[in-house]
Amino acid sequence: MCIRDSLCKDSGSTAALAHCTSQFNGTNGVCSLLGSSVFLSRSVLSRNGFSGAVAHGNGSYLSMSDCESTENQHCGASALELGSVYARTCSLRHSGQAGALAQGEGSLMSLEECAADDNLRHGLE
**Would you say 1 and 29 are in contact if contact means Cβ atoms under 8 Å apart?**
no
Tell whether the model's pLDDT for residue 94 goes beyond 70.
Answer: yes
Considering the entire predicted model, what is its pTM?
0.91
pLDDT of residue 124: 86
Mean pLDDT of all residues in 109-116: 96
**Would you say 119 and 97 are in contact if contact means Cβ atoms under 8 Å apart?**
yes
